[in-house]
Structure 1
Amino acid sequence: MSERIKTAYERAMERAQTINVSLDELEDGEYRARGNALAARFLRDKRVELGPELATLEERVRTRAAEGIQETLLNNLSLPTDEMAVETNKRVMEGILTLKEDKQSAMQVLGELDYLFNYYLQAYRQAYDHNKMVYQKKAAKAQEALERQTGVKMNLNAETQPGFKEDLMKMAAQLNNSYQGHLDEHKRRLRLLK
């Protein structure tokens, strides 16, 4: 019974000593993080250009930073439901094209993505309009009933009716299930391009 109980700190220190992370791995992580930060700046500020920013870095750092940039950009590529998402996707695609050496292949994949996004946005807007039309009919009936009860003219908005947002979210989820696989496949293809 001479063995003493170790504190949580002592156990954590023992585990930390068994972790072997090379200096190169630490530096790679740091360079990727720099790339992540640069990509975030690129997406926020239209004045930031990736090419000149990357050119200031030495070769080893540039390669790892480009990997971080690519991951951040691809993570920000999404199925668009509004103009802001469309603009973000355009900026992301511009950044990805800057990173790629094989511009022709990259432009082909990005062109396919642009087509996918346009088609998705059209389908989303149709679903939105259909849902709105259904709820406008419901709102008109509710408005008529309320006006009869109160004798006061009312204006009910279809988009504020109970269930409108929930039904729209269900429709969007169905669309996303149809399109997300295609988006993921295009992201995979972009990751593989030099």
Structure 2
Amino acid sequence: MDEMKSAFERAMERAESLGKASEEDLRKWKYLPEGERLAAKYLKDECDLVVEIGEYDDNVRQHVVEGAQGILVNNIDLPRNELAKRTNKKAMEAIKELKRDKVSVENVYTKLRRIFNHYEQEGEQQRRQAYEAVKKDVEAKMQQAIQQQLGVGGSMKINVETQPQFQQEWRRTLAQLESQYLKLLDECKQEISNVP
């Protein structure tokens, strides 16, 4: 019976074999969430991020900055609406303030702006065309189904846009269209994260 150990005892042995967390690890675990919290407050216009971060000691500030940058980068998104545009601008300004290599950040921002501009201009046209194509396709399928049920001469006017089939097909098409932009956006976000 002595050979059998509880799951708790085995877990404790594994934890002990990993060793104790270093002071640096403990600081990181404590202050990374602080940076995340400050970034969230900043995005809600509840604080001046640079001033707040400046109040931390030098030995923990890097962890606070790391946490804040993670939240700021994650909040950069496609400019689907005015709120997203404002959030992007605010996050990008703060990231640039926190990064040491401002030139590299600006180089990535140039790429991001190109992606955003393309999304808003050519992308908008693509989305409109795709919307009309999906609408026309679903409408034709529904008319065909109605004709089969009512007979050859049967025809009804349908508001296709309110139909679940249309909504589902449009969401799928929109996701396909946006996937190319999201891939490029993720690459830029990774580049930003890698800038010192």
Q: Distance in 1 between matches of 2:62 and 2:182?
A: 29
Q: Structure 2: 5+ residue runs without aligned partners?
A: 151-155
Q: CA deviation at 1:158?
A: 4.4
Q: Is 1:96 the equivalent of 2:98?
A: no
RMSD, aligned α-carbons: 2.9
**TM-score normalised by structure 1 residue count:** 0.78
Q: 1:95-149, CA deviations, whole angstroms, 9 ceiling, x for partnerless residues?
A: 211212233332232132122112123344324322443466566996xx8xxx9
Structure 1 residues 123 and 157: CA distance shift in structure 2, 3 A: farther
1: CA distance, partners of 2:177 / 2:133: 18
Query: Counterpart amino acid of 2:175?
Result: A
CA shift for structure 1 position 65: 0.9
Aligned length: 184
Q: Do 2:42 and 2:49's aligned partners in 1 also have CA atoms closer than 8 Å?
A: yes
| 127-136 vs 165-174, which moves further | 127-136
Deviations along 1:73-92, whole A, 9 cap, x unmatched? 11222223333322222221
2:12 paired with 1:13: yes
* CA deviation string 1:155-188 (max 9, x = no partner): 9654323333223223233233322332222223
TM-score, length-scaled by structure 2: 0.77
Residues 124 and 184 of structure 1, relative CA distance in 2, 3 Å threshold: same
Task: Assess if the C-alpha contact under 8 Å between 2:160 and 2:166 holds in 1.
Answer: yes
Query: Which residue matches 1:113?
Result: 112
Q: Is 1:31 matched with 2:18?
A: no
Partner of 2:193: 191
State which drifts further: 56-65 or 171-180: 171-180
Name the structure 2 match of 1:169.
171
Unmatched runs of 5 consecutive residues or more in structure 1? none
